[in-house]
Amino acid sequence: MFISTSQIKIFLYRNTIDGRWGMDRLFALVDSELHLDPRSGTFFVFFNRNRSLAKVAYYDGSGSCLFYKRLENGQFKYPNIDENQNSCEIAPTELALLLEGGNLDPIIKPKPWQPKMRVNSH
């Protein structure tokens, strides 16, 4: 089965977490602070205080999944998120870049492709 990446929602949590937190604590945070359904299939990305650890939590329909990556050197660099917001939505390609240690600021996103309108001349 193929899954369109345009249908995947990914949210970065603005604040840091304790790296020891597990699935239940992270999903409680999604519910209470982000006001989102943790079992919606959305990916939620969290970072520890020194940004050396990233955790990605999501529900796949049959169970909860938690993945994490610890950088051996350096820090994850994620975009500045408005202080009035608890999270921001990113694209799957941005998540891949982020988890490779890339920087999301500044990223210039191309405009979505739109077919050219044909003009019928009669």
76 touches 90 (CB < 8 A): no
20-34, 37-51, 53-67, 98-112: least confidently modelled range: 98-112
The domain locations on the chain are: 5-99
pLDDT per residue as tens digits for the range 7-37: 889 999 999 999 999 999 999 999 999 999 9
Q: Identify which of 36, 33, 2, 38 has the alpha carbon closest to the alpha carbon of residue 15.
A: 33
Category of 35 on φ-ψ map: left (φ > 0), alpha (ψ -120 to 50) or beta: left
Q: Which two tokens stand for residue 116?
A: 């050219």
Arithmetic mean of pLDDT over the chain: 87
| This prediction's pTM | 0.81
Going by pLDDT thresholds of 50, 70 and 90, the confidence category of residue 3 is low
